[in-house]
Structure 1
Amino acid sequence: MGLTWATAGIFPRATGAEAMRWFRTTRRTSTGTGATGSGRLSGAERDPARLVTFSDAVFAIAVTLLILQIRPPQDTRDLLHGLTSLWPSYLAYAVTFLLIGQMWVNHHVMFDHIRAVDRLVLFLNTVLLMVIAFLPFASSVLAAAFESGHGRQSAVVFYGIAFEAVAALFNVIWEYVRRGRHLLQQAVDTDDLSAIGRRYRLALVWIAVGTALGILHPVAGVVVIAAFIPAYWLPIGGEASSAGRVRDRGPTPP
């Protein structure tokens, strides 16, 4: 009786039908299956602008850290010889800087097609950035091995595996948003999606070949990985249309 009186006091005019509608609305909100959510595992959808800004900062820090891996010669009595003997560090710096630059460009191409991100995309992108932040260390290991002449095979494989992990994460993120489609722009073109997917799969195969070749011949392995730079800087088929959609949307609000 007391419970009935208390309920009547809280909902004095509520009918049974109104109570059921209230219960269903509350249940949809709590389980994340309403209009603004995409399920328990993926969470609510968010604007990708802050994710892209944060990613840009990590990319910038990663390429900046590369130059800190090059140490000046300790003995300055023959400075010219000391500077020229650092050629493996210069090479590792240039190759890694350009590869990370490619990743940054293709990261923007990918997110030009993405309308919203959920919690899974946030997590996968965080793991991607974690590996990218690791690349300066892999570059320093490669340079040290070629300077000393020892462990070159292991260094090339280690370097290649780090970049292969980045390529794999690009593919995982893209396949997830491409198959679901609910996170993509409304006017996205199927041919654009296929072109971007082919580019990301090419990265997986190309870097894997260079890494495997590094076991047999370290210099050849580095050459194959470095040869990926001019090929990957070529524009993607879906890049032009995605850039047009960004211009149509206008500047991102602060």
Structure 2
Amino acid sequence: MAPARDDARTSTPIGAERDPRRVVAFSDGVIAIAITLLVLEIRPPEDTRDLLKGLGELWPSYTAYGITFLLIGQMWVNHHVMFDHIHSADRLVLLLNTLLLMHIAFLPFASAVLAGAFESGHGERTAIVFYGISYVGAAILFNVIWEYARHGRRLLAPTIDVAGARAISRRFRPAPVWIAVGTGLGVLHPLLGLVLVAAFIPFYWLPIKGEIASVKRARESLP
């Protein structure tokens, strides 16, 4: 049976499978740069005669910074959740991961647009839709990468069983819908839409119990 498995891997049209550690290292670098760039979008008040008032008026920038920082941090955590259990990456995984990083690198700009609209009081609806679409794309790519990797378990490590893989899928699947609903609500009421998107943060920082149980079972089965 083992030789047949090896033959199936070498004959795959997607390309050779590679150690994903370089994928993770490169991704960590891109995410670190994106999350650091966020603070550069907060501009100090030009008029310092009433500095306290000027700093207070920057609340949209602080809000956009905080929400986006935590969301990108959340993506970093969930990226590690995926690649802790993906033992090899073929060319399609590399492509999908590159597209995911492209979305993440774009988020500081989307955050700046959101903050600018709320600070000026104009274009808030367009800004929340623009911001939401940026996140929906990333959330969809998370699902696509994970579902592709776990299909047939060809790319998954033995550290996770079927139940654990399903638990991760159950956590990832609601994300695009959740953000899309928040974006849609933002068309009607921008601030409420932003609150709904922000409510996404605490839920997705929770540990995935099924994944934890799966890893524990795998460790206990080791000799």
TM-score by length of 1: 0.80
User: Counting helix residues as a fraction of each chain, which structure ranks higher?
Assistant: 2
CA RMSD of aligned residues (A): 1.9
Letter in 2 for 1:68: L
Counterparts in 2 of 1:57 and 1:220: CA distance versus 1, 3 Å:
same
Letter in 2 for 1:39: T
User: After TM superposition, where is structure 1 displaced by more than 4 Å over at least 4 residues in a row?
Assistant: 33-36, 241-248
Give the one of 37, 60, 81 matched to 2:10.
37
Identity %: 67
Residue in 1 that maps onto 2:38: 66
Q: Deviations over 1:167-206 (max 9, x none)?
A: 0000110111111311111352111111110111111111
Counterparts in 2 of 1:58 and 1:231: CA distance versus 1, 3 Å:
same
Residue in 1 that maps onto 2:164: 192
Counterparts in 2 of 1:114 and 1:241: CA distance versus 1, 3 Å:
farther
Secondary structure of residue in 2 paired with 1:46: coil
Q: Is the 8 A contact 1:102 1:232 kept in 2?
A: yes
1:141 shift after superposition: 0.3
Q: Is the 8 A contact 2:160 2:218 kept in 1?
A: no
CA distance in 2, matches of 1:101, 1:44: 30
Residue in 1 that maps onto 2:107: 135
Aligned residues: 215
Q: Between Structure 1 and Structure 2, whose CA radius of gyration is higher?
A: 1
Matched, 1:232 2:204: yes
CA distance in 2, matches of 1:236, 1:178: 16
Counterparts in 2 of 1:86 and 1:246: CA distance versus 1, 3 Å:
farther
Highest RCO, 1 vs 2 (Cα 8 Å, sep ≥ 6):
2
Q: Deviations over 1:44-95 (max 9, x none)?
A: 0100001001101111111100000001111111111111100000000000
Q: Deviations over 1:10-48 (max 9, x none)?
A: xxxxxxxxxxxxxxxxxxxxxxx95763523x1101000
Counterparts in 2 of 1:100 and 1:125: CA distance versus 1, 3 Å:
same
Counterparts in 2 of 1:189 and 1:151: CA distance versus 1, 3 Å:
same
Counterparts in 2 of 1:167 and 1:246: CA distance versus 1, 3 Å:
farther
CA distance in 1, matches of 2:49, 2:35: 31
Secondary structure of residue in 1 paired with 2:27: helix
Residue in 1 that maps onto 2:195: 223
CA distance in 1, matches of 2:209, 2:109: 33
Matched, 1:169 2:141: yes
Q: How does 1:1-254 map to 2 (within 5 A)?
A: 34=7, 37-40=10-13, 42-241=14-213
Which runs of 5 or more structure 2 residues have no equivalent in the other structure?
1-5
Letter in 2 for 1:171: N
Counterparts in 2 of 1:50 and 1:220: CA distance versus 1, 3 Å:
same
Q: Is the 8 A contact 1:38 1:45 kept in 2?
A: no
Q: Deviations over 1:80-118 (max 9, x none)?
A: 111110000000000000000110001001111111000
Q: Which moved more, 1:144-153 or 1:193-202?
A: 193-202
Secondary structure of residue in 1 paired with 2:26: helix
Secondary structure of residue in 1 paired with 2:148: helix
Q: Is the 8 A contact 2:17 2:90 kept in 1?
A: yes
